[in-house]
Amino acid sequence: MNNEQILLPMLGLMVLTAVVWFVLYARRIPAMRRLGKPAQTYTTPGPVVDLLPEEVSYPANNFKNLFELPVLFYGLCLYLYATGTVASIDVIAAWLFLLLRVVHSLIHCTVNIVMARFIVYCAGALVLWIMLARAVWGAYQAVMV
């Protein structure tokens, strides 16, 4: 197994985060301009939520979400890479996690159907917890040998 293969899904998740960031501002700035209020009106999240249509905040909420579970994913991938313990199943799981995060972001930034988003989120979390459990078990076995 090529240890570097675990890095590609990580980079993919970084690209997804960048795309959501651009979508966030592509929606927010025009909506703010349409209101015609000074930029200083939006000093905290409260006025953004109060003044702008709800769907304008979907990408911003998703962007925040991309700094929750994915942080653990990044750390786990780097751990597997640094320890040279990447297995094929880890790479498959990492790609699956990325795919589920892409689907989650698509739902969150567009139709925002909460139950669909939640199911995809839970599936991605389950993949991540399995990856973590495998890493912990591998570390435990390495120490006990």
Q: Render pLDDT for 115-129 as a digit per residue (tens, 0 to 9).
A: 999 999 999 999 999
Q: What is the DSSP letter of 3?
A: G
CATH number of the domain where residue 51 is located? 1.20.120.550
Q: How many domains does the chain have?
A: 1
Question: Containing domain of residue 102, as a range?
Answer: 3-144
Res 1 pLDDT > 80:
no
CA 69/CA 124 separation, integer angstroms: 9
Percent of the chain scoring above 90 in pLDDT: 88
| The predicted structure's pLDDT at residue 116 | 98
Specify the residue for token string 């459990």. Answer: 133
Q: Render pLDDT for 33-61 as a digit per residue (tens, 0 to 9).
A: 999 989 888 888 888 888 999 999 999 99
Instruction: Say which range, 18-22, 32-36, 66-70, 75-79, has the weakest mean pLDDT.
Output: 32-36
